[in-house]
Amino acid sequence: MSVAKEVTNVEAQVIAAKKAAKRVGLLSTEEKNEALYILADTLEKNHQVILAANEKDLLVGREKGYEEAYLDRLALSKERIVDFAEGLRQVAKLKDPAGEILSSWTLENGLLVEKVTVPLGVIGMIYEARPNVTVDATGLALKSGNAIILKGGSSALSSNKAIVQVMQGALNKTKIPKEAVQFIASTDRVATQQLFTMKEHIDVLIPRGGASLISAVVNNATVPVLETGVGNCHLYIDVEADVEKALNILVNAKTDRPAVCNALETVIIHKKWLEKNSELLITAFKEHGISIHGDKVALSYIPNAVLANEADWANEYLSLELAVKTVDSLDEAIVHIETYGTKHSEAIVTENKATAKKFMSLVDASALYHNASTRFTDGGALGFGAEIGISTQKLHARGPMGLPALMTIKYMMSGNGQTR
């Protein structure tokens, strides 16, 4: 494989992917699944090659002074590579999303109309850091009959390149042409920007990573985008909230994995509930190391809290910091969420079903929770089997995106000479 050619000719890679996509789209479920099992086995067998490449990335990262937590996410191990392989086997077991007749009917003139799922074609994945996306996205794209263009972040360049080389080698033993998986090895921005405008050849771009990566894609791409990402998630603790449920959900949503998009960023508390339960709340904050930015009422109850400013309400802390807003009513809570929310995941704790119903009807978000943690907004947790990202847009796919998000439809009409 000529890396030099890859670097200099993004367009040729994309055109090759488009051509390969047609062939992947015609394969049977069995042929696609067999290929995924071969990919999985080959990744496991070649774990040393991948680990060696990963060492290079870690070395560069340490030289550049990256934080230890960042390097942890970047670091691979034999176990993690086995997990990657297992993920591909899980995808192989999922139902094939292609060729499903969603509905069919016959017109009065005898024309048969069938609405059938078909692959989108070429998926462009632009992502940062974690090399697992390289494997996960490839598995989902191939299972759904698509080709994929992978443009990973520069900090995982060697790891991603090694993973793709191993997978392309494995594809030679399958019915899937290896051109269906393309890796853009260039680290400059020009290569990424080229992908933004290749509307003729790329059917969708999916950005995964930080807010700046996502907004760069959304604001500059003419290729359709499936936007993922930012989650300024709220939990509203109603006056009729059960104390234990409220505290458990609050702590879980904030602390289980603070750096992810479905983590809690602001808790909105009914003043009467706060008045009754402030002691327990303060204990929970202390125990779990949660630091508070609160409004004036919140500050009158919570020691060591700092006064929240306008920026705090909009902030995705992605840490153990938490904003606390107090309200007199459900309506006030909803207005706050409307003003500062990002339509990702919003939760209410209440024993009053009518209140819960009102919250879930009126709040505009991809995932609404009554008496459960926002942390469940995840393809794996919700039982989708696998996830290509969490959509924060309303068109095409909303919330966690599994295989169906990588499909479009065709109307297929069969007649015997019908005219209008």
Q: Kindly list the residues in this chain that would bind a copy of itself in the complex (CB under 8 A).
A: 22, 25-26, 105, 107, 111, 113, 120-121, 203-204, 218-219, 222, 224, 226, 242, 244-245, 248-249, 251-253, 256, 356, 360-362, 364-373, 375-377, 381-383, 393-396, 398-400, 408-420
| Of 1 and 381, CB closest to a copy of itself | 381
| Of 294 and 402, CB closest to a copy of itself | 402
| Of 2 and 219, CB closest to a copy of itself | 219
How far from 335 is each of 1, 173, 253, 365, CA to CA, in Å?
56, 57, 21, 13
Shortest Cβ 19–a copy of itself spacing (Å):
10
Shortest Cβ 416–a copy of itself spacing (Å):
6
Q: For residues 21 and 146, is the Cβ–Cβ distance under 8 A? A: yes
Shortest Cβ 44–a copy of itself spacing (Å):
28
Shortest Cβ 195–a copy of itself spacing (Å):
17
Name the packing angle between helices 132-143 and 157-171 (round to 10°): 30
- Closest Cα to residue 161, out of 141, 181, 177? 181
- A 10 A CB-CB count for 382 gives 14
- A 10 A CB-CB count for 205 gives 25
| Of 84 and 376, CB closest to a copy of itself | 376
Q: How far apart are CA 97 and CA 118, in angstroms?
A: 8
Helix, coil or strand: residue 290 = coil
Shortest Cβ 287–a copy of itself spacing (Å):
15
| Of 41 and 256, CB closest to a copy of itself | 256
Q: E strands along 120-262, which residues?
A: 122-127, 147-151, 181-183, 204-208, 233-237
Q: Which residue is listed with tokens 């910091």?
A: 321
Helix, coil or strand: residue 2 = coil
Shortest Cβ 166–a copy of itself spacing (Å):
31
Shortest Cβ 339–a copy of itself spacing (Å):
11
Residue 228: DSSP 8-state = B
Helix, coil or strand: residue 276 = helix
